[in-house]
Structure 1
Amino acid sequence: MAEQYTVLEGAESFHFEGNRVGVLVSHGFTGTTQSMRPLGKAFADAGYTVCGPRLKGHGTHYEDMEKTTFHDWIQSIEEGYQWLQKRCDTIYMCGLSMGGTLSLYMAEKYSGLKGIVLINAAIEVPDMETATTMKDTRFIDAIGSDIKKPNVQELAYEKTPVQSIREIVGLMEQVRLDLNKVTCPTFIFVSNEDHVVPPYNSEVIYKEIQSEVKEIISLKESYHVATLDNDQAYIIEKALEFISKH
């Protein structure tokens, strides 16, 4: 029988019922919905219907994550998208880190997506590519909680499965090849200093997507997990502006 893992407190999926405009929000690799809850709540307070899925294998135990593939993570997002489709006429997506990668994937695949907001999205992380070649190592140190603001902790795994790194690298490669399929309005936030995803990722995304409406904005006071960092209020303000405009 498969081992059952309990979901960590604060890592649960969240849903807010609102109007006919939906926002799908996605957390990142080894992280949890905790990193996106402030944004989700802000979207809900603005009247939108919000879905923040917990990606499969996340928010439980890193050994649970080790068993999942990037197809499982896509499925978690697609289920959230379907939940919103039943309630909304228009859907936007907002993602942090691998959540940004998944937002790009959805924009590549679903022409119905009205717009995407990317926060330090990942399409190429050389350190991760190096880690995939490790033969006799099952887990490496954590990548979570890259936050500039003092005394703020991201709820994330304390170890990273090497097998899961192989999965995210596969996802990034696939998404990068199809960036030219992204045509919806896109708003990109990029931290000037990020110790997880090199900031040049956002420049590549900006150049290669085919969206007529696209904007890139620097975050000067946040590291990788910008949604929990000093620029949180600014991200919320700009993301709400973007959704109401498009």
Structure 2
Amino acid sequence: MTAAKVIPGAESFFLPGNSIGILICHGFNGTPQSVRYLGDNLAVKGYTVYAPRLKGHGTDELDMETSHYQDWVHDVETAYAKLKQTCTYVFAIGQSMGGALVLDLATKVPCEGILTINAALQVPEYEIYRNQSVPRFIPEGEPDVKDDTVTEITYDQVPSKAINQLLDIMEHTSQQLENISCPILLFHSPEDHVVPARCSNQIYDTVLSLDKELIALENSYHVASLDYDKDQIIEQANRFIQIHSKKATIAS
């Protein structure tokens, strides 16, 4: 079977830099394009940055239909392993479903810190499709971005099978939060039309991390990595990474 062709601009990207690695994971129906601005600007600060393209994303809907959430978990774990080949420390950033995936990662490997952007533990609009296979494809609206000049690479429709995989990984991660103890920085948009803000509050209240922060993105909707607060995300992420990489160096 011929592999699905990747949409131009939706490819994974790897930006070599210093011994501090940053894994950036996009969300459901997104691609690395949605986090490219973050990646490029963090790489400018010297970090090694890797944003993998999750299986079934950035190609076509039929490719997504055959993807399982364990494929996405594997993609993130493989990306972490790639960074560890050259980096002493690794931080993981995840947007939306990517947030759920990096939280899951933190229960399995030693991360110096986790950063989430509107991490998805629930998507109310999708709940009616739980355990449903019809309709086969669900129409998707425009990406939830306040800045109307922004374009995001997404599918116009997503398979109901893939939606159920998203529901499964969110449920799985929700059950794992008490196993997370690394430093964590949570970005959330109070006006998010996809993921309720209470998801970030749930993470903050449940993880065992002694060092945790919750930052509101007042001028962005769900896809905040492309929205008006994207530079604030970069500034605060850099601060967090600098603090905790230095702490890790002292501890070692």
TM > 0.5: yes
Distance 1:86 1:143, change over 3 A: farther
* 1:132–1:163 CA contact under 8 A, matched in 2: no
**Aligned equivalent of 2:34:** 35
* 2:123–2:195 CA contact under 8 A, matched in 1: yes
Give the TM-score of the pair, scaled to structure 2: 0.94
**Aligned equivalent of 1:162:** 160
Moved over 4 A (4+): none
- Whole-Å Cα distance in 1 between the matches of residues 122 and 9 of structure 2? 29
* 1:93–1:103 CA contact under 8 A, matched in 2: yes
Q: How does 1:206-217 map to 2 (within 5 A)?
A: 206-217=204-215
C-alpha displacement at 1:135, in angstroms?
4.3
Q: How does 1:20-169 map to 2 (within 5 A)?
A: 20-110=19-109, 112-142=110-140, 145-169=143-167
Distance 1:24 1:144, change over 3 A: farther
Q: How does 1:191-230 map to 2 (within 5 A)?
A: 191-230=189-228
**Aligned equivalent of 2:4:** 5
RMSD over equivalenced CA pairs, Å: 1.1
Distance 1:143 1:123, change over 3 A: farther
C-alpha displacement at 1:75, in angstroms?
1.0
* 2:124–2:194 CA contact under 8 A, matched in 1: no
* 2:55–2:71 CA contact under 8 A, matched in 1: yes
Give the TM-score of the pair, scaled to structure 1: 0.96
- Identical columns (%): 43
Count of matched residue positions in the alignment of Structure 1 and Structure 2: 244
Indicate the SS of the match to 1:113.
Answer: coil
Q: Which runs of 5+ in 1 are unaligned?
A: none
C-alpha displacement at 1:94, in angstroms?
0.4
Q: Which amino acid aligns with 1:9?
A: P
C-alpha displacement at 1:180, in angstroms?
0.5
Distance 1:185 1:62, change over 3 A: same
Q: Which amino acid aligns with 1:34?
A: Q
Distance 1:34 1:239, change over 3 A: same
- Whole-Å Cα distance in 2 between the matches of residues 174 and 66 of structure 1? 20
C-alpha displacement at 1:127, in angstroms?
2.3
- Whole-Å Cα distance in 1 between the matches of residues 141 and 115 of structure 2? 22
Distance 1:144 1:168, change over 3 A: farther
C-alpha displacement at 1:134, in angstroms?
3.5
Indicate the SS of the match to 1:104.
Answer: helix
C-alpha displacement at 1:130, in angstroms?
1.7
- Whole-Å Cα distance in 2 between the matches of residues 3 and 61 of structure 1? 13
- Whole-Å Cα distance in 2 between the matches of residues 143 and 105 of structure 1? 28
- Whole-Å Cα distance in 2 between the matches of residues 136 and 36 of structure 1? 31
Indicate the SS of the match to 1:36.
Answer: helix
